[in-house]
Amino acid sequence: MDRRTLVVFLVALAACAVVTKPRPISWNDRSRFATIESIVDRGTVAIDGSPFAVGLGDEYRYRGHLYSDKSPLLAVQGAAVAKAASAFGVTLQRTPGAAAYVIVLGTAGLWFALGCAYAYAFQRLLGITPRGAAVVAAISGLGTLTLPYATVLANHVPAGAAALAAIYHYARGRDRRADAALGGVFAALAFAFDPPAAIVVLAAVPLLFRGPADRWGAVLAGFLPIVLAQVAFNHTVSAGFGPPALDPVSWSDPSSPFHARANEPLTYFDTPRAFLAYAAYVLVGGKGLFSYTPVALVCAYGLGVMWRTPGTWRTVALAVALPVVAYTVLVIVLTNDYLSGNFGERRYVDVFFTLCVALGPALAAVRGRSAALAVRAAVALSIVVAAFGTVQPFGGAAGEDGYRFGAEAFAGLASRAPLQAGLDVVAVVLTVAAVLRALPASWTSAAPTPRGSGRFA
């Protein structure tokens, strides 16, 4: 990584600092705050007695104790941040707003910045110019739902950033055993943050195919210790080895708000028509991948460009497409987002950094006025939508359109703090203008990597 990568990291962290929430706003992040508070104040992951556990839904009871159903890694990182902040008098008890802000920025915010830095580094690895790589990093962070969910204590941004880092190090792993091991470490971290993100291991297959056998051993050496530690933790705090949130025994307590739904199917696939309706809902509808992130269409085009370029780009295209497509299928088949209140489908954040790897090649291949205008429109709209989502990433009634409750949240903000709302609008307009102004440079100065070249071709 060159020195510009550090600049990208710092700029991304500063951007995230502007919009980070100073308080938990949903069961999702309150559940993690309860674990953080319990670790720091009582030295346990059990959340009995935590003030954040009052009226909480994302919890379960096991052997007489109450636990968060969330994977613990983000809360452990948050507890480390909280402990460090306490040395300066910032605690969840005395200064809850400041402490919550620092914890979110020091966890999800740091991973957001790291994901943007890896987005930049990956483009440079593909042969994209520094300016083009910076544009891709900006769009990856500011033009997807990654930004809204980096403002709260949610696990999807860390999982997505770790997944991208894993693929980056897999790509370099053919030549460097240490990179192969780092790929395994980051893949395991993605799993520890959000178990379905473990699907990123699929990317190792094309990138390390026919590589030295010891590279696979290095990947496993990095991957297995973290995964086994997570499995051991799961067994300690639940009846099984898998995530407690997926363990029916964890929801057997009648006091759990999920107890009544314990035997319901995850999805409403009674008929093929119902399946297709739900697929449309999470692809182009009320929680749609493309309806909330139009730039994903540009990424899909970019994957096509990469696939048509033999060598490095084709290999990376396959490495990106395998986990992204598989994960999207899992979202469609194994979720029931009709029941959730989120801005868009938050689970896609696990793969947005990875999907945006194709942005650089896509922008390099854009030709013609109509195509350029279409790309500009997709980028501008995606940045506006992502900024809109930062107002209230969690909220609304079950299955309610995110745009609707987001509009209500922004209207409330404008009523309470009109100056802040106005400044927010100005900031978004300036951000869109800056990114769009940089786009032509990436189209004209980046070119596909020559056939067969590249460190991991």
For the stretch 29-76, pLDDT in tens is 999 999 999 999 999 999 988 899 888 878 888 888 889 889 999 999
Q: To which residue do tokens 């106005």 refer?
A: 422
CA distance 214 to 180: 9
Taking a C-beta distance cutoff of 8 angstroms, is the pair 121, 1 a contact?
yes
Structure confidence by residue, pLDDT tens digits, 182-201:
999 999 999 999 999 999 99
- List beta partners, residue 59: 68
pLDDT band at 248 (very low <50, low <70, confident <90, very high): low
Q: Which pLDDT does position 175 carry in this prediction?
A: 87
Taking a C-beta distance cutoff of 8 angstroms, is the pair 144, 378 a contact?
no
Give the tokens for residue 383.
């940045």
What percent of the chain clears pLDDT 90, i.e. is strictly above it? 66
CA distance 17 to 417: 19
CA distance 240 to 233: 10
Longest distance between any two alpha carbons in the chain, whole Å: 66
DSSP 261: G
CA distance 257 to 264: 13
Q: Rounded to an integer, what is the distance from CA 427 to the centroid of its chain?
A: 23
Q: To which residue do tokens 């020195």 refer?
A: 3
Taking a C-beta distance cutoff of 8 angstroms, is the pair 415, 355 a contact?
no
CA distance 323 to 92: 38
Say if residue 336 is exposed, middle or buried (CB neighbours under 10 Å; 0-12, 13-18, 19+): middle
DSSP 144: S
Does residue 320 have a pLDDT over 70?
yes
Answer yes or no: pTM beyond 0.85: yes
Phi first, then psi: what are they for 254, rounded to 5°? -60, -20
Q: Which pLDDT does position 400 carry in this prediction?
A: 82
pLDDT band at 442 (very low <50, low <70, confident <90, very high): very low
pLDDT band at 254 (very low <50, low <70, confident <90, very high): low
Q: Which residues of 144-178 are buried (b: 16+ CB within 10 A; e: fewer)?
A: bbbbbbbbbbbbbbbbbbbbbbbbbbbbbbbeebe
CA distance 55 to 132: 47
Taking a C-beta distance cutoff of 8 angstroms, is the pair 109, 150 a contact?
yes
